[in-house]
Amino acid sequence: MGAQLRLLRRRIRSVKSTAKITRAQELIASSRIVKAQQRMEAAVPYEREITRAVSAVLSNSADIDHPLTVAKEQPSSAGVLIVTSDRGFAGGFNANILREAEALAGHLRGRGLQVKPFVVGRKGITWHRFRDRSMSGEWSGFSDNPLYAHAKEIADALVSSFEDQNGIDEIHIVYTEFVSMLTQQVQVKRVLPLEVEETTEQPPGGPLPYYEFEPTAGEVLNQLLPRYIESRIFNALLQSAASEHAARRRAMKSATDNANELIRVFTQRMNQARQAEITQEISEIVGGANALADASAGKE
Protein backbone atom coordinates (compact mmCIF):
# COMPACT_ATOMS: atom_id res chain seq x y z
CA MET A 1 0.00 0.00 0.00
CA GLY A 2 2.86 2.39 0.83
CA ALA A 3 4.43 1.70 -2.59
CA GLN A 4 1.16 2.63 -4.30
CA LEU A 5 1.00 5.93 -2.42
CA ARG A 6 4.57 6.80 -3.41
CA LEU A 7 3.81 5.98 -7.05
CA LEU A 8 0.71 8.18 -7.05
CA ARG A 9 2.59 11.06 -5.42
CA ARG A 10 5.32 10.85 -8.10
CA ARG A 11 2.73 10.83 -10.89
CA ILE A 12 0.94 13.85 -9.39
CA ARG A 13 4.23 15.79 -9.19
CA SER A 14 5.02 14.85 -12.80
CA VAL A 15 1.61 15.91 -14.11
CA LYS A 16 1.77 19.19 -12.15
CA SER A 17 5.12 19.97 -13.79
CA THR A 18 3.62 19.25 -17.21
CA ALA A 19 0.60 21.43 -16.42
CA LYS A 20 2.91 24.36 -15.55
CA ILE A 21 4.67 24.01 -18.92
CA THR A 22 1.45 23.78 -20.96
CA ARG A 23 -0.07 26.69 -19.04
CA ALA A 24 3.00 28.82 -19.78
CA GLN A 25 2.81 27.87 -23.48
CA GLU A 26 -0.87 28.80 -23.52
CA LEU A 27 -0.18 32.23 -22.01
CA ILE A 28 2.69 32.89 -24.44
CA ALA A 29 0.52 31.96 -27.43
CA SER A 30 -2.32 34.15 -26.12
CA SER A 31 -0.01 37.15 -25.88
CA ARG A 32 1.51 36.64 -29.34
CA ILE A 33 -1.71 36.02 -31.21
CA VAL A 34 -2.87 39.62 -30.68
CA LYS A 35 0.24 41.00 -32.35
CA ALA A 36 -0.05 38.44 -35.16
CA GLN A 37 -3.65 39.52 -35.81
CA GLN A 38 -2.66 43.19 -35.88
CA ARG A 39 0.11 42.51 -38.43
CA MET A 40 -2.28 40.44 -40.54
CA GLU A 41 -4.91 43.19 -40.57
CA ALA A 42 -2.29 45.88 -41.27
CA ALA A 43 -1.19 44.05 -44.44
CA VAL A 44 -4.72 43.86 -45.88
CA PRO A 45 -4.88 47.40 -47.39
CA TYR A 46 -1.64 46.91 -49.35
CA GLU A 47 -2.75 43.56 -50.73
CA ARG A 48 -6.17 44.97 -51.64
CA GLU A 49 -4.75 47.97 -53.48
CA ILE A 50 -2.10 46.06 -55.40
CA THR A 51 -4.76 43.54 -56.40
CA ARG A 52 -6.91 46.43 -57.67
CA ALA A 53 -3.95 47.83 -59.59
CA VAL A 54 -3.25 44.50 -61.31
CA SER A 55 -6.95 44.09 -62.08
CA ALA A 56 -7.06 47.59 -63.55
CA VAL A 57 -4.11 46.91 -65.83
CA LEU A 58 -5.54 43.64 -67.07
CA SER A 59 -9.02 45.16 -67.52
CA ASN A 60 -7.69 48.06 -69.63
CA SER A 61 -5.45 45.80 -71.70
CA ALA A 62 -7.49 42.79 -72.71
CA ASP A 63 -5.03 41.81 -75.43
CA ILE A 64 -2.01 41.74 -73.15
CA ASP A 65 0.05 38.55 -73.28
CA HIS A 66 2.25 38.29 -70.18
CA PRO A 67 4.17 35.11 -69.18
CA LEU A 68 2.71 35.20 -65.68
CA THR A 69 -0.87 35.32 -66.93
CA VAL A 70 -0.73 32.77 -69.75
CA ALA A 71 -1.08 29.07 -68.92
CA LYS A 72 1.13 26.72 -70.90
CA GLU A 73 -0.62 24.39 -73.31
CA GLN A 74 1.17 21.29 -72.06
CA PRO A 75 2.38 21.87 -68.47
CA SER A 76 4.79 19.27 -67.16
CA SER A 77 5.51 20.31 -63.56
CA ALA A 78 3.92 22.23 -60.72
CA GLY A 79 5.40 23.84 -57.64
CA VAL A 80 3.56 23.59 -54.33
CA LEU A 81 4.43 26.05 -51.56
CA ILE A 82 3.61 24.36 -48.23
CA VAL A 83 3.48 26.69 -45.21
CA THR A 84 3.98 24.82 -41.92
CA SER A 85 5.34 25.87 -38.50
CA ASP A 86 8.81 25.71 -36.99
CA ARG A 87 7.55 24.39 -33.64
CA GLY A 88 5.08 21.80 -32.48
CA PHE A 89 2.60 21.87 -29.57
CA ALA A 90 -0.07 23.10 -32.00
CA GLY A 91 -2.42 20.15 -32.18
CA GLY A 92 -3.28 19.09 -35.73
CA PHE A 93 -2.05 22.35 -37.30
CA ASN A 94 0.80 20.84 -39.34
CA ALA A 95 -0.90 17.48 -39.93
CA ASN A 96 -3.87 19.20 -41.59
CA ILE A 97 -1.63 21.24 -43.89
CA LEU A 98 0.47 18.24 -44.93
CA ARG A 99 -2.64 16.15 -45.53
CA GLU A 100 -4.10 18.79 -47.86
CA ALA A 101 -0.73 19.16 -49.59
CA GLU A 102 -0.63 15.41 -50.21
CA ALA A 103 -4.16 15.53 -51.63
CA LEU A 104 -3.17 18.38 -53.95
CA ALA A 105 -0.02 16.53 -55.02
CA GLY A 106 -2.12 13.47 -55.85
CA HIS A 107 -4.48 15.59 -57.95
CA LEU A 108 -1.58 17.20 -59.82
CA ARG A 109 0.06 13.83 -60.49
CA GLY A 110 -3.28 12.63 -61.81
CA ARG A 111 -2.99 15.39 -64.42
CA GLY A 112 0.43 14.07 -65.37
CA LEU A 113 2.42 16.84 -63.63
CA GLN A 114 5.62 16.42 -61.69
CA VAL A 115 5.22 17.94 -58.22
CA LYS A 116 8.05 20.05 -56.81
CA PRO A 117 7.50 21.05 -53.16
CA PHE A 118 8.71 24.36 -51.73
CA VAL A 119 8.44 24.07 -47.95
CA VAL A 120 8.26 26.73 -45.23
CA GLY A 121 8.71 25.63 -41.58
CA ARG A 122 10.86 23.03 -39.87
CA LYS A 123 7.93 20.65 -39.35
CA GLY A 124 7.26 20.40 -43.07
CA ILE A 125 10.96 20.16 -43.89
CA THR A 126 11.45 17.36 -41.35
CA TRP A 127 8.38 15.55 -42.70
CA HIS A 128 9.80 15.55 -46.24
CA ARG A 129 13.31 14.60 -45.16
CA PHE A 130 12.04 11.68 -43.07
CA ARG A 131 10.37 10.29 -46.20
CA ASP A 132 13.43 11.01 -48.41
CA ARG A 133 11.48 13.45 -50.56
CA SER A 134 13.47 16.10 -52.37
CA MET A 135 12.48 19.76 -52.00
CA SER A 136 13.00 22.49 -54.56
CA GLY A 137 13.21 25.10 -51.82
CA GLU A 138 13.07 25.27 -48.03
CA TRP A 139 12.84 28.12 -45.53
CA SER A 140 12.58 28.05 -41.74
CA GLY A 141 13.07 30.09 -38.59
CA PHE A 142 10.31 32.67 -39.03
CA SER A 143 6.97 30.83 -39.13
CA ASP A 144 5.57 32.63 -36.04
CA ASN A 145 6.89 36.09 -37.02
CA PRO A 146 7.36 36.41 -40.81
CA LEU A 147 8.73 39.56 -42.43
CA TYR A 148 8.12 40.93 -45.90
CA ALA A 149 11.74 40.12 -46.73
CA HIS A 150 10.97 36.43 -46.17
CA ALA A 151 7.99 36.61 -48.53
CA LYS A 152 10.13 38.37 -51.15
CA GLU A 153 12.82 35.70 -50.91
CA ILE A 154 10.24 32.94 -51.39
CA ALA A 155 8.48 34.81 -54.22
CA ASP A 156 11.78 35.42 -56.05
CA ALA A 157 12.58 31.70 -55.95
CA LEU A 158 9.11 30.70 -57.17
CA VAL A 159 8.88 33.29 -59.95
CA SER A 160 12.43 32.53 -61.08
CA SER A 161 11.57 28.84 -61.35
CA PHE A 162 8.30 29.70 -63.12
CA GLU A 163 10.07 31.86 -65.71
CA ASP A 164 12.81 29.28 -66.27
CA GLN A 165 12.42 27.30 -69.47
CA ASN A 166 12.91 24.01 -67.58
CA GLY A 167 11.24 25.16 -64.39
CA ILE A 168 7.73 24.81 -63.03
CA ASP A 169 4.60 25.62 -65.04
CA GLU A 170 2.17 26.21 -62.17
CA ILE A 171 2.49 27.48 -58.59
CA HIS A 172 0.07 26.45 -55.84
CA ILE A 173 0.13 27.40 -52.17
CA VAL A 174 -1.17 25.47 -49.16
CA TYR A 175 -1.54 27.45 -45.93
CA THR A 176 -3.88 27.92 -42.96
CA GLU A 177 -6.27 30.85 -43.06
CA PHE A 178 -7.10 32.56 -39.77
CA VAL A 179 -10.88 32.87 -39.44
CA SER A 180 -11.21 33.38 -35.68
CA MET A 181 -9.59 32.36 -32.42
CA LEU A 182 -11.46 29.05 -32.60
CA THR A 183 -11.51 28.44 -36.36
CA GLN A 184 -8.62 28.07 -38.78
CA GLN A 185 -9.08 26.61 -42.26
CA VAL A 186 -6.50 25.09 -44.60
CA GLN A 187 -6.58 26.84 -47.99
CA VAL A 188 -5.29 25.53 -51.32
CA LYS A 189 -4.90 28.23 -53.99
CA ARG A 190 -3.24 28.60 -57.35
CA VAL A 191 -0.93 31.61 -57.49
CA LEU A 192 0.53 31.32 -61.01
CA PRO A 193 -0.42 31.58 -63.78
CA LEU A 194 -2.95 34.23 -62.87
CA GLU A 195 -6.55 33.49 -63.71
CA VAL A 196 -8.13 36.37 -65.59
CA GLU A 197 -11.93 36.29 -65.29
CA GLU A 198 -14.48 38.54 -66.92
CA THR A 199 -17.22 39.76 -64.60
CA THR A 200 -19.95 42.40 -64.55
CA GLU A 201 -19.86 42.76 -60.77
CA GLN A 202 -18.36 45.88 -59.30
CA PRO A 203 -15.04 45.10 -57.56
CA PRO A 204 -14.49 45.95 -53.87
CA GLY A 205 -13.56 49.57 -53.38
CA GLY A 206 -15.59 50.91 -56.30
CA PRO A 207 -15.14 50.92 -60.09
CA LEU A 208 -11.65 50.41 -61.46
CA PRO A 209 -10.01 53.57 -62.84
CA TYR A 210 -9.07 53.92 -66.49
CA TYR A 211 -5.34 54.12 -67.17
CA GLU A 212 -3.16 55.09 -70.09
CA PHE A 213 0.16 53.26 -69.96
CA GLU A 214 3.53 54.60 -70.91
CA PRO A 215 5.58 52.97 -72.28
CA THR A 216 3.36 49.83 -72.32
CA ALA A 217 0.97 47.89 -70.09
CA GLY A 218 3.37 44.96 -70.28
CA GLU A 219 6.12 47.00 -68.66
CA VAL A 220 3.73 48.03 -65.90
CA LEU A 221 2.82 44.40 -65.29
CA ASN A 222 6.50 43.48 -65.18
CA GLN A 223 6.77 45.75 -62.14
CA LEU A 224 3.40 45.00 -60.56
CA LEU A 225 3.11 41.22 -60.83
CA PRO A 226 6.20 40.34 -58.74
CA ARG A 227 4.91 42.67 -56.00
CA TYR A 228 1.49 41.07 -56.31
CA ILE A 229 2.99 37.58 -55.85
CA GLU A 230 5.02 38.81 -52.88
CA SER A 231 1.91 40.27 -51.25
CA ARG A 232 -0.03 37.02 -51.75
CA ILE A 233 2.75 34.99 -50.16
CA PHE A 234 3.23 37.52 -47.34
CA ASN A 235 -0.48 37.40 -46.58
CA ALA A 236 -0.34 33.59 -46.49
CA LEU A 237 2.63 33.72 -44.08
CA LEU A 238 0.82 36.18 -41.79
CA GLN A 239 -2.39 34.14 -41.87
CA SER A 240 -0.42 31.01 -41.06
CA ALA A 241 1.42 32.71 -38.17
CA ALA A 242 -1.83 33.88 -36.56
CA SER A 243 -3.37 30.43 -37.10
CA GLU A 244 -0.31 28.76 -35.56
CA HIS A 245 -0.58 30.82 -32.38
CA ALA A 246 -4.33 30.20 -32.16
CA ALA A 247 -3.89 26.46 -32.69
CA ARG A 248 -1.10 26.31 -30.10
CA ARG A 249 -3.19 28.23 -27.56
CA ARG A 250 -6.12 25.88 -28.06
CA ALA A 251 -3.93 22.76 -27.89
CA MET A 252 -2.11 23.93 -24.77
CA LYS A 253 -5.39 24.83 -23.05
CA SER A 254 -6.70 21.32 -23.74
CA ALA A 255 -3.44 19.83 -22.46
CA THR A 256 -3.64 21.93 -19.28
CA ASP A 257 -7.28 20.92 -18.71
CA ASN A 258 -6.38 17.25 -19.21
CA ALA A 259 -3.47 17.55 -16.79
CA ASN A 260 -5.70 19.13 -14.14
CA GLU A 261 -8.21 16.33 -14.60
CA LEU A 262 -5.45 13.73 -14.17
CA ILE A 263 -4.29 15.47 -11.01
CA ARG A 264 -7.84 15.32 -9.65
CA VAL A 265 -8.15 11.60 -10.46
CA PHE A 266 -4.73 10.73 -9.01
CA THR A 267 -5.43 12.77 -5.88
CA GLN A 268 -8.73 10.94 -5.40
CA ARG A 269 -7.00 7.58 -5.81
CA MET A 270 -4.27 8.61 -3.38
CA ASN A 271 -6.85 9.65 -0.78
CA GLN A 272 -8.68 6.35 -1.24
CA ALA A 273 -5.44 4.43 -0.87
CA ARG A 274 -4.53 6.42 2.26
CA GLN A 275 -7.97 5.79 3.74
CA ALA A 276 -7.67 2.08 2.98
CA GLU A 277 -4.25 1.99 4.62
CA ILE A 278 -5.52 3.82 7.73
CA THR A 279 -8.54 1.51 7.93
CA GLN A 280 -6.28 -1.53 7.69
CA GLU A 281 -4.00 -0.20 10.43
CA ILE A 282 -6.98 0.52 12.71
CA SER A 283 -8.34 -2.97 12.07
CA GLU A 284 -4.96 -4.48 12.94
CA ILE A 285 -4.76 -2.42 16.15
CA VAL A 286 -8.30 -3.33 17.17
CA GLY A 287 -7.66 -6.98 16.32
CA GLY A 288 -4.46 -6.97 18.37
CA ALA A 289 -6.22 -5.32 21.31
CA ASN A 290 -9.01 -7.89 21.19
CA ALA A 291 -6.48 -10.70 21.05
CA LEU A 292 -4.68 -9.35 24.14
CA ALA A 293 -7.99 -8.96 25.95
CA ASP A 294 -8.97 -12.56 25.17
CA ALA A 295 -5.55 -13.80 26.27
CA SER A 296 -5.84 -11.93 29.59
CA ALA A 297 -9.33 -13.30 30.18
CA GLY A 298 -8.10 -16.86 29.56
CA LYS A 299 -5.38 -16.59 32.16
CA GLU A 300 -7.83 -15.47 34.77
pLDDT at residue number 281:
66
> Could you tell me if residue 21 is inside a domain?
no
Total domains in the fold of the chain:
1
> Could you tell me if residue 175 is inside a domain?
yes
pLDDT at residue number 200:
47
List pLDDT tens digits, range 18-44.
Answer: 888 888 888 888 888 888 888 888 888
Q: What does 201-269 look like in DSSP terms, one character per residue?
A: SPPTTSSPPP---SS-HHHHHHHHHHHHHHHHHHHHHHHHHHHHHHHHHHHHHHHHHHHHHHHHHHHHH
pTM score of the predicted model: 0.80
pLDDT at residue number 198:
47
> Could you tell me if residue 138 is inside a domain?
yes
CA distance 298 to 93: 78
> Could you tell me if residue 230 is inside a domain?
yes
> Could you tell me if residue 292 is inside a domain?
no
Give percent helix, percent strand, percent coil of the chain, each to the nearest 5: 60, 10, 25
CA distance 210 to 220: 14
Measured on CA atoms in the order 107, 113, 116, 118, is the torsion positive or negative? negative
> Could you tell me if residue 151 is inside a domain?
yes
pLDDT at residue number 172:
92
> Could you tell me if residue 187 is inside a domain?
yes
Q: Where are the alpha helices (DSSP H) in 43-92?
A: 44-60
Positions of the chain with pLDDT under 70: 1-2, 59-68, 195-215, 217, 276-277, 280-281, 283-284, 286-300
CA distance 164 to 31: 43
Residue type, 24: A
Query: Which CATH number belongs to the domain containing residue 167 in this structure?
Result: 3.40.1380.10
Range of the domain at 168: 27-252
> Could you tell me if residue 103 is inside a domain?
yes
